[in-house]
Amino acid sequence: MPIKTIIEPFRIKSIEPIRRTTHEERQKLLEAAGYNLFLIASKDILIDLLTDSGTGAMSTEQWAAIMRGDESYAGSPSFERFRNSVQTIFGYRHVIPTHQGRAAERILFNVMCKKGDIVPNNTHFDTTRANCEFVGAEALDLPIPEAREPQRHHPFKGNMDVVRLAETIEHAGAKRIPLVMLTVTNNSGGGQPVSMENIRAVKTICQRHGIPLYIDACRFAENAYFIKLREPGYAGKTPREIAREMFSLADGCTMSAKKDGMANIGGFLCTNDDILAQQEKDLLILTEGFPTYGGLAGRDLDAIAVGLNEALEEDYLNYRIVSTAYLGNHISKEGVPIVQPPGGHAIYLDARAFLPHVPPAKFPGVALACALYVEGGIRAVEIGTLMFGEHATMDLVRLAIPRRVYTQSHIDYVIEVILEVWQKRAQIRGLELTHQAPFLRHFTARFKPAEVEEVKEV
């Protein structure tokens, strides 16, 4: 019999202790933090699933590359290695390093957009939306209708609605649409992949109207692997070949190296357009740095140069996708409502279905995230009414999995904690705001348990 068990494709050379706390300690810490997990110190967290951004473990090759980093202000060989890696995988003429993905977005929208423009995307990530709106353009989300139903299965639930894209261009006129973006995988839509067929269909529409297509490439390797697994005709191709094909359909990309760059910091902006590249580099010098380092240390550039290649290794991608699904499938099997199917980097609990007795105005996502912390010291993040205000259509709790950090026994522990909270769900109360900031309130909001609440049987 062939061996079926999938294992972590690495062994552990350096360890970082994590600290257990008691139920009582966590209850006190949570009260002191105003029921906001952003305000809890990481030393008081046992399993931190707040984000997969910059929280991954680097490999021995990456640490070796860090020592090779050359910190020269201009013309560093670290930049040469970085540019070679990026160009080999992404294939674009110009590679502009930035300190994070959002810096690439800011430069891109500053150069390409003006007030009154529209930028369609399958779903804008929050920093992408904010940077787009900051220059006065409208950030328009055009996900396929299936994406709005958490429990609905679809192999490429991250796809863009191409009919609505064509209508939007028809209606607004191509002149008002300086670029179209595709986010792979669709982070805000549940870490769901975009198919090659959809990228090609979007490209065809863009080409017809002379509109450039840019890819928000943060999880390009995970997206490429989903295409290999799910899209007819791609089973025999390598993730690298699939990534090359994805990028060949676009005119440029933005990237956060904190995701599939396997680094703790960094990002970049790519384009094939010589004139745009010049304008982008001029802006880069103003706030990020000289074009051969762009706000990064030479050692960061070297870590990314290695990390981008490691993210495309099939053993790694198989482990990554299988281990995320392992968490999702185990809790879903017991009836826990999640966004289906499991995404690449995270599992999203559907808090409205999990806590039907807590109305959206009493923040079911925050209440559920707090319950996971008190039960087992797990930190997750609400994506719902707290983050988006009363217009939120869903209240989700995202469990993002850092790359190469936790083992299967950690995930088994997370499953047990979630199932314990699921058993006790009828006792979970909603929350009321006691403090909020005028914008991005989720980072600093404070709560107290809701006063009177009718507890329904579930």
Query: Quick check: 192 binds ligand PLP (CB under 6 A)?
Result: no
Measured distance CA(434)–CA(449) in Å, rounded: 10
Measured distance CA(338)–CA(323) in Å, rounded: 16
For residues 352 and 332, the answer to whether their CB atoms sit within 8 Å is no
Residue from 59, 85, 100, 195 touching ligand PLP (CB under 6 A): that is 100
For residues 266 and 307, the answer to whether their CB atoms sit within 8 Å is no
Measured distance CA(107)–CA(88) in Å, rounded: 23
Identity of the residue, 259 or 352, whose beta carbon is nearer to ligand PLP in the bound complex:
259
Residue showing tokens 């999938």: 6
Query: At its nearest, how many Å lie between ligand PLP and the CB of residue 364?
Result: 24
- Neighbour count for residue 457 (Cβ, 10 Å): 5
Looking at 85-93, 123-131, 171-179, 314-322, which segment touches ligand PLP (CB under 6 A)? 123-131
Helices 364-376 & 23-32 angle (0-180, nearest 10): 140
Query: At its nearest, how many Å lie between ligand PLP and the CB of residue 259?
Result: 6
Count of residues of this chain found to bind ligand PLP when the rule CB under 6 A is applied: 15
Identity of the residue, 24 or 439, whose beta carbon is nearer to ligand PLP in the bound complex:
439
Identity of the residue, 198 or 332, whose beta carbon is nearer to ligand PLP in the bound complex:
198
Q: What are phi and psi of 18, to 5 degrees?
A: -120, 150
Looking at 96-104, 228-236, 286-294, 327-335, which segment touches ligand PLP (CB under 6 A)? 96-104
Q: In terms of Cα–Cα distance, which of 192, 250, 246 is closest to 224?
A: 246
Query: According to CB under 6 A, which residues from 254 to 273 bind ligand PLP?
Result: 256, 258-259, 267
- Neighbour count for residue 150 (Cβ, 10 Å): 18
Query: According to CB under 6 A, which residues from 326 to 345 bind ligand PLP?
Result: none
Measured distance CA(141)–CA(122) in Å, rounded: 5
Query: According to CB under 6 A, which residues from 367 to 426 bind ligand PLP?
Result: none
CB burial readout 49-66, b (16+ within 10 A) else e: bbbbbbbbbbbeebeebb
Two tokens at 397? 């709790």
Query: Quick check: 183 binds ligand PLP (CB under 6 A)?
Result: yes
Query: Quick check: 324 binds ligand PLP (CB under 6 A)?
Result: no
Query: At its nearest, how many Å lie between ligand PLP and the CB of residue 304?
Result: 12
Phi-psi bin for 171: left (phi > 0), alpha (psi -120 to 50), beta?
A: alpha
Identity of the residue, 73 or 134, whose beta carbon is nearer to ligand PLP in the bound complex:
134
Query: Quick check: 59 binds ligand PLP (CB under 6 A)?
Result: no
Measured distance CA(238)–CA(249) in Å, rounded: 17
Amino acid found at 433: L
Looking at 100-108, 284-292, 354-362, 383-391, which segment touches ligand PLP (CB under 6 A)? 100-108
Instruction: Give the DSSP letter of residue 324.
Output: H
Query: Quick check: 123 binds ligand PLP (CB under 6 A)?
Result: no
Q: Do the bridges between strand 378-379 and strand 47-48 make them parallel or antiparallel, or are there none, so unpaired?
A: parallel
Query: Quick check: 299 binds ligand PLP (CB under 6 A)?
Result: no
Identity of the residue, 29 or 396, whose beta carbon is nearer to ligand PLP in the bound complex:
396
Looking at 3-11, 62-70, 122-130, 244-252, which segment touches ligand PLP (CB under 6 A)? 122-130
Looking at 98-106, 276-284, 417-425, 432-440, which segment touches ligand PLP (CB under 6 A)? 98-106
Query: At its nearest, how many Å lie between ligand PLP and the CB of residue 175?
Result: 26
User: Taking CB under 6 A as the rule, which mask of x and - marks residues 193-222 in contact with ligand PLP?
Assistant: -----------------------x-x----
Amino acid found at 22: T
Helices and strands, number each (H, E), in the chain: 16, 14
Measured distance CA(329)–CA(340) in Å, rounded: 9
Query: Quick check: 187 binds ligand PLP (CB under 6 A)?
Result: yes
Query: Quick check: 98 binds ligand PLP (CB under 6 A)?
Result: no
Measured distance CA(428)–CA(365) in Å, rounded: 11
Query: At its nearest, how many Å lie between ligand PLP and the CB of residue 188?
Result: 7
Instruction: Give the DSSP letter of residue 25.
Output: H
Query: At its nearest, how many Å lie between ligand PLP and the CB of residue 343?
Result: 12
Measured distance CA(73)–CA(297) in Å, rounded: 9
Identity of the residue, 192 or 332, whose beta carbon is nearer to ligand PLP in the bound complex:
192
Helices 196-209 & 162-172 angle (0-180, nearest 10): 10
Identity of the residue, 261 or 364, whose beta carbon is nearer to ligand PLP in the bound complex:
261
Query: Quick check: 251 binds ligand PLP (CB under 6 A)?
Result: no
Residue showing tokens 């499938």: 329
Identity of the residue, 187 or 195, whose beta carbon is nearer to ligand PLP in the bound complex:
187
Residue nearest to ligand PLP (CB): 101
Query: At its nearest, how many Å lie between ligand PLP and the CB of residue 184?
Result: 8
Query: Quick check: 53 binds ligand PLP (CB under 6 A)?
Result: yes
What is the contact surface with ligand PLP in residues (CB under 6 A)? Answer: 53, 100-102, 125, 127-128, 183, 187, 216, 218, 256, 258-259, 267
